[in-house]
């Protein structure tokens, strides 16, 4: 996917629809910005960095960002993107199994977006979560976005345009794993669940299937902007509706905090 879309990197890691990419990418980054106040002295680990869409976003806001990924080709694409952007404080490395090659507590934030579901073995997932939590400093954070199963875990042989197996797990399973490593959940929210954007996409796609002109094509960029601007107002309602199975919001954002050494209250 990265080779096919090397001039459009978000197509390799989100979808082949550029408008969806703009909305989803913006929505996810707003969630992280609201949950964690990034500081200029922060060191950030982007676990599963892909083509570097998060490392390049973090870099201007923090002291150091490290991206790691299982795919050497993705890592090389991220390095190239950082070089082309003139970013000096980002580095990217191919993962070489566990444990992670970092000391305890060296990162203020570990970010893992659409990564953990590709670890299909539960024991391996538990080891990965333990390592993620180990390298976070006391008082530091983990931000996580994943596809969630409502009831039993769902195994996927592939996900649309993307090949490779995945497991959609219950929200409670992720929470249990991180809390079992001493982390406290700070934020839980739906992600990319605008009640404006997705109805617009449904109308657009229905018109395309019927060979009709898109009635709102001239408003597309404005709809993305309005959807992003309104999410802070609509997120609570959308989460309530999703929890009651009245709407389908499978993308969930979680932010965990590691208690300070002398913090017994979480």
**Are the CB atoms for 249 and 147 separated by under 8 Å?**
no
Beta carbons within 8 Å of 219's beta carbon, 6+ residues apart: none
pLDDT in tens, 54-106: 999 999 999 999 999 999 999 999 999 999 999 999 999 999 888 999 999 99
Which one, of 134, 263, 84, 122, lies nearest residue 186 by Cα? 263
From residue 232, how far is each of 8, 30, 33, 53 by CA, in Å?
A: 28, 9, 12, 23
Polymer length in residues for the chain: 266
Q: pTM of this prediction?
A: 0.90
The pLDDT of residue 262 is 57
Tokens of 50: 């892909």
How much of the chain exceeds pLDDT 70, in percent? 93
264 band by pLDDT with thresholds 50, 70 and 90? very low
Residue 5, pLDDT above cutoff 60: no
The pLDDT of residue 160 is 65
CA gap 2, 4 in Å, rounded: 5
Which one, of 196, 199, 261, lies nearest residue 227 by Cα? 196
Helices (H) and strands (E) in the chain, counts: 8, 9
Tokens of 52: 């570097």
pLDDT in tens, 227-247: 999 988 888 888 888 888 777
10 band by pLDDT with thresholds 50, 70 and 90? confident
For residues 207-233, b (16+ Cβ closer than 10 Å) or e, as one string? eeeeeeeeeeeeebeebbeebbeebee
From residue 84, how far is each of 40, 44, 122, 138, 172 by CA, in Å?
A: 22, 21, 38, 34, 41
Q: According to CATH, what is the number of the domain 10-194+248-257?
A: 3.40.50.150
The pLDDT of residue 266 is 40
The pLDDT of residue 161 is 62
> Which DSSP string corresponds to 84-126?
HTT--SEEEEE--SSS-SS-TT-EEEEEEES-GGG---HHHHH
The pLDDT of residue 119 is 94
For the chain, domain boundaries: 10-194+248-257
15 band by pLDDT with thresholds 50, 70 and 90? confident
């Amino acid at each position: 996917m990265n080779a096919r879309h090397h001039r459009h990197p978000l197509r390799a890691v989100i979808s082949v629809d550029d408008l969806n990419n703009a909305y989803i990418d913006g929505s996810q980054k707003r969630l992280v910005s609201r949950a964690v106040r990034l500081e200029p002295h922060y060191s950030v680990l982007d676990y599963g960095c892909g083509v570097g869409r998060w490392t390049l976003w973090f870099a201007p806001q923090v002291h150091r960002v490290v991206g790691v990924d299982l795919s050497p080709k993705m890592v090389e694409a991220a390095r190239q993107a950082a070089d082309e952007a003139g970013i000096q404080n980002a580095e990217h490395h191919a993962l070489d199994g566990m444990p992670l090659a970092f000391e305890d507590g060296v990162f203020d934030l570990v970010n893992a977006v659409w990564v953990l579901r590709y670890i299909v073995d539960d024991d391996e997932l538990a080891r990965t979560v333990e390592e993620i939590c180990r390298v976070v400093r006391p008082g530091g954070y983990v931000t996580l976005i994943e596809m969630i199963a409502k009831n039993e875990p769902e195994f996927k042989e592939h996900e649309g345009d993307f090949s490779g197996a995945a497991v959609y797990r219950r929200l409670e399973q992720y929470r249990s794993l991180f809390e079992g490593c001493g982390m406290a959940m700070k934020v839980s929210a739906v992600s990319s669940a605008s009640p404006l954007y997705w109805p617009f996409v449904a109308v657009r796609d229905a018109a395309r299937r019927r060979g009709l002109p898109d009635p709102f094509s001239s408003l597309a960029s404005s709809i993305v902007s309005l959807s992003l601007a309104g999410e802070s107002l609509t997120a609570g309602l959308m989460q309530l509706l999703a929890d009651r199975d009245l709407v389908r919001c499978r993308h969930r954002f979680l932010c965990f905090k590691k208690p300070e050494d002398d913090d017994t209250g979480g």
